[in-house]
Structure 1
Amino acid sequence: MFDTIGMQHIGAVVIGASAGGVDALSHLLPALPKAFAPPVLIVVHVRQGQPSLLPALFATRCVLPIEEPFDKDEIAHGTVYFAPAGYHMLVEAEGGEAPSIALSVDPPVRFSRPSVDVLFESAAHAYGERLLGIVLSGANDDGARGARAIRDAGGACWAQDPTTAPSPAMPLAAIAEGAVHEVLTLDAMTMRLSQCIRRQP
């Protein structure tokens, strides 16, 4: 379990959500302060063939920059990235270079593209023990194997308390996978995430 010191050493946060997840994100993201340090990479299942409206929606609600990235964009601190509709979003970190985003049109995983598992697994490889994964409300089991990859790499994973999730299947699957360190309410997540701030010089 991360304590306050551990929270300050998180290198990145990855979040997976599906049905009911936009409401959960509406609770979490606007509460992140301007000094929030890690990048936040998010996969939300959206209907295929339609553009995602999430970046525009959250850009008006959040103090952090909200981006829908392009392939090979370097990942910036304190920035929120939403996976574009129809693309897997991965983290690449090769040869000691700064982590960047890769977009893929590989086949859907667990019927989803973008896939939570694909993001989580690639981020676990890039960030290891400095990664925090969060599994929010959703109606399938996407994210469970990715959460296990985060845990196996030494990172930590939280799940939304299923009793508070409109669609509890996604957090329940991650919990059943044995991948979750803590089951938290959205209020508790918000409080803990607020500790991830840039240190003053």
Structure 2
Amino acid sequence: MRNEWGGASMTGATPRAVVVDDSHFMRTMLSDMLDDGGVDVVATAADGAEAVTAVLEHEPDVVTMDLEMPDVDGLEAVERIMAERPTPILMLSAHTADGADVTFEALDAGAVDFFTKPGGEVSTQMSSKETQLVQKVKAVAGADVDGGHASSRSSSERPSERPTRTDSEYEGATVLIASSTGGPTVVERVVGALPRDADFRIIVVQHMPDAFTERFADRLDAASEYDVREASDGDRIGGGEALVAPGGSHLVVAGAGGDRLRVKLTEDPPEHGVRPAADVTMQSAAETVDGPLVGVVLTGMGADGAEGARAIRDAGGHVIAQDEASSAVFGMPKRAIELGAVDDVLAGDDVPDGILDATRIEVNA
């Protein structure tokens, strides 16, 4: 079963959390917020070593983990917890470029997702994010960290290292990828497994704050044969290129000519509580792009991507959803499936082949 946030059901029980932060003030504030939101904080810890001990003793459903702590920091604590008692972990990260780099390392080590700490008047800004924090903690608490969503393939394996197909050509499709909770590592594997000779135009909408999307684009660029960058207003991309929607802006496919797409960024109100929203990008692509379209809805909390997937399918495109077993949080794919907008339901590591199959033109060997 899955809970209302899209994660695995805990049979109606209140999720149990361990809060880790070196600031006593922050530990207290986070604990109060979670308790008020229906999350039972069973222990707190002031550093990574205490965090590991608390997890082994209390066996919580979820851990909120600060990154920067003395002695044993958050990254090392994640590594120890995932080795000794795998537990869903939500990182609490500074809203900085350096914080983004370490946060991605924590996701690589097994953390499910992250939540950015506000700067300035912490109590005022964090209070305004209380609902988001509680929802995120509940979603992460339901994530499957022991199941099939873990990669069976090294993320460093590039497409060029695998057998080259010589019996097919590809249509040069536009591929639109939507993802949220648990998604960054899956997106990296999907984009990293797509061969350059398929000549796709790729747009990624990952729910992520603005300080993180540029670093995320850099990671995708390093992991793939495609030229990947964070989108700017008025950007154009052709085959072999990819854009990541920047945090805080919707990405609209505004024009298509020849083999190139033109995008614009807007600050229109959030949809589904998020900006960028995949629905905005997918629906605009369905209205604008004449050539082949593939929509991909990966792991994530909420319903974003479902209406966009339906628009792509109604326009004659092909839609793939990640399956429940390999999703950290089966929210977004589930909504798209329930809407009848999905052609294929695939494990995360099978999505690249699904994209290729949907765009392949068979030719004589």
Matching of residues 88-167 of structure 1 within 5 Å: 88-93=250-255, 98-128=260-290, 130-167=292-329
Shift of 1:50: 3.1
The residue number in structure 1 matching 2:131 is: none
Tell me the TM-score normalized by structure 2. 0.49
C-alpha deviation, 1:128, in angstroms: 4.9
The alpha carbon displacement at 1:178 in A equals 0.7
Answer whether contact 1:20 1:167 (CA < 8 A) is retained. Answer: yes
1:23 corresponds in structure 2 to 185
Match of 2:14 in 1: none
Q: 2:226 aligns with which of 44, 47, 64?
A: 64
Distance 2:348 2:256 in 1: 34
Match of 1:186 in 2: 348
The CA distance in 2 between the partners of 1:125 and 1:185, in whole Å, is 28
- The number of aligned residues is 194
Residue 55 of structure 1, CA deviation: 1.0
Check the 8 A contact 1:35/1:197 in 2, yes or no: no
Which residue matches 1:87? Answer: 249
Contact 2:299 2:331 in 1 (8 A): yes
Alpha-carbon contact 2:301-2:330 (below 8 Å) kept: yes
Q: Which runs of 4+ in 1 moved over 4 A?
A: 94-98, 194-198
Tell me the SS of whatever aligns to 1:63: coil
Q: Secondary structure at the match of 2:288?
A: helix
User: Hey, what does 1:174 align to over in structure 2?
Assistant: 336
The equivalent residue for 2:20 is none
SS at 1:60 equivalent: helix
TM-score (norm 1): 0.87
Inter-partner Cα distance in structure 1 for 2:316 and 2:182? 28
Per-residue CA deviation, residues 138-172 of structure 1 (Å, 9 max, x unaligned), is 01110111111111111111100122100101100
Q: Distance in 1 between matches of 2:211 and 2:321?
A: 28
Amino acid corresponding to residue 50 of structure 1 in structure 2: A
Give, in whole Å, the separation in 2 of the partners of 1:65 and 1:163. Answer: 31
Between the two structures, name the one with larger relative contact order (CA 8 Å, sep ≥ 6).
Answer: 1
Alpha-carbon shift at residue 34 of structure 1 (Å): 2.6
Kindly indicate whether residue 211 of structure 2 is the aligned counterpart of residue 50 of structure 1.
Answer: yes
Contact 2:256–2:262 under 8 Å retained in 1? no
Q: Is the 8 A contact 2:256 2:289 kept in 1?
A: no
- Structure 2: state its 5+ residue gaps: 1-166
CA RMSD of aligned residues (A): 2.5
Q: Could you tell me how far 1:197 is from its partner in structure 2?
A: 8.0
Q: Structure 1 residues 130-139 or 60-69, which shifts more?
A: 60-69
Rg larger for: 2
**Partner amino acid for 2:211?**
Q
Q: CA deviation at 1:98?
A: 4.5
2:326 and 2:259 mapped to 1: Cα distance? 40
| Counterparts in 2 of 1:98 and 1:61: CA distance versus 1, 3 Å | closer
Q: Which runs of 5+ in 1 are unaligned?
A: none
